[in-house]
Amino acid sequence: MRPAVVPGAEPGGGRDGGHAGFVRRLFAKQEGHWPTDPRALEELSRVRMGATAAAYVAGSAGAGATEAANRAALDRWRLVPRILTGSTVRSLAVDLLGTHMPAPVLAAPVGVQGIVHPDGERATARACAELGVPFVTSTMSSTPIEEVAAAGGDSPRWFQLYWPNSDEIARSFLARARATGHTVLVVTVDTMSLGWRPPILDQSFLPMLDGVGTAMFTSDPVFRARLTATPEDDPRQAVEMWDRELGTAGRTWDDLAVLRDWWSGPILLKGVLHPADARHAVDAGLDGIIVSNHGGRQVDGAVAALDALVPIAREIGDDVPVLFDSGIRNGADVIKALALGADAVLVGRPYVHGLGVGGAAGVRHVFEGLLADLDLTLGLLGLHDIRQVGPDLVVPAP
């Protein structure tokens, strides 16, 4: 059946947003011929970006058991629609940690986007800004944070920290993030080293060794002052110092206290999977957590992110926001995560595939499609407002 175009059914009432506007544009072919199915888009992006970059983006740990488990866990829950609620006018917008968002969906921090498309993170920032979707800028961006932020104009943005060993460099990063309008600090704590990733090991390709993804470092005045030659003149030395700086193996809970002095806004820990760690984060005064197994890229055999969400939301869900990522691919996935206790979700690989096929327009295609699907699914479930999503909406599959 051809989808109904329902005027006023868009979030916020705007004629161009939401499900109806997306479908109207898609049918008018203004979006090109990019697939809306995430797997088909991934296939197409593999052709466009090339096998090496595609393998890095796909790059799960080990045999991919955890990446598969992330999907299987989402598929083990089923939604139970309600009927005859007149849910033609809907609202997806939420406010979280001082950030207004058109839907509880953010662009996850993804480094080295320069291997995927020449415009890299700047394209992602621009696309997110056009939609109002918050972008979490990675420490491993391929262009300096100032350029990424400039591409995003005055749109909402958060900063993801891979914590350098040197306090002075870490403080410089945070000062730059603050100066460029990043309001929330996301500290990733599941990556003291990259996981065992056969696709990356087997092609001996690590973008950072070629200086892609180290721009935050090589553009940093404190980092540069420690080199005996500029990164432009001696890239090798810069890469070696980057490598020494990101050896964060020694970080412990005790280290977190200093972040409070260095960062005045909310701080989240990303990569929490154990309820006791979630409780520890709350007790340590953090403002929230992101339940994530890094999209299955770190510990192969790690618990599926959704299976970790349920006990964690039970433990701390009433105290602080709990965000979620790893495996979200469509509107129903977003609703399942919210129903099981998440306040918002992050999406990683799907928008990177969009970047690969069409730069900023491709990223926009992915987020517009996801938000349209979410809007439609919410309506078909009989709800008017995303904030109505609760545990009564899901049942375990038999």
Ligand X SMILES: O=C(O)C(=O)c1ccccc1
Ligand Y SMILES: Cc1cc2nc3c(=O)[nH]c(=O)nc-3n(C[C@H](O)[C@H](O)[C@H](O)COP(=O)(O)O)c2cc1C
Binding residues for glyoxylate: 56, 162, 197, 294, 297
**CB nearest ligand X: which residue?**
111
Q: Is the CB of 239 or the CB of 352 nearer to ligand Y?
A: 352
Options 18, 134, 211, 213; binder of ligand X; rule CB under 6 A:
213
Options 9, 53, 54, 108; binder of ligand Y; rule CB under 6 A:
108
> SS in 3 state form for the chain?
CCCCCCCCCCHHHCCCCHHHHHHHHHHCCCCCCCCCCHHHHHHHHHHHHCHHHHHHHHCCCCCCHHHHHHHHHHHCEEECCCCCCCCCCCECCEEECCEEECCCEEECCCCCHHHCCCCHHHHHHHHHHHHCCCEEEECCCCCCHHHHHHHCCCCCEEEEECCCCCHHHHHHHHHHHHHCCEEEEEEECCCCCCCCCHHHHHCCCCHHHHCCCCHHHHCCHHHHHCCCCCCCCCHHHHHHHHHHHCCCCCCCHHHHHHHHHHCCCCEEEEEECCHHHHHHHHHCCCCEEEECCHHHCCCCCCCCHHHHHHHHHHHHCCCCCEEECCCCCCHHHHHHHHHCCCCEEEECHHHHHHHHHHHHHHHHHHHHHHHHHHHHHHHHCCCCEHHHCCHHHEEECC
266 binds ligand Y (CB under 6 A): no
CB of 276 to ligand Y, least distance (A): 21
358 binds ligand Y (CB under 6 A): no
* One character per residue 296-325, x = contact with ligand X (rule: CB under 6 A): -x----------------------------
Residue 208 binding partner per list ligand Y, ligand X, none, with a CB distance cut-off of 5 to 8 Å that depends on partner kind: ligand X
CB of 354 to ligand Y, least distance (A): 12
Q: Which of residues 206-265 bind ligand Y (CB under 6 A)?
A: none
Options 46, 182, 349, 364; binder of ligand Y; rule CB under 6 A:
349
Q: Which of 19, 117, 182, 294 is catalytic?
A: 294
CB of 391 to ligand X, least distance (A): 31
Site stretch for ligand Y (CB under 6 A), options 40-48, 120-128, 167-175, 319-327:
319-327
Q: Is the CB of 111 or the CB of 132 nearer to ligand X?
A: 111
Residue 182 is a catalytic residue = no
307 binds ligand Y (CB under 6 A): no
Residues annotated as catalytic (active site), given as ranges? 294
Residues within the interface to ligand Y (CB under 6 A)? 57, 108-111, 138, 140, 160, 188, 270, 292, 294-295, 325-328, 347-349, 352
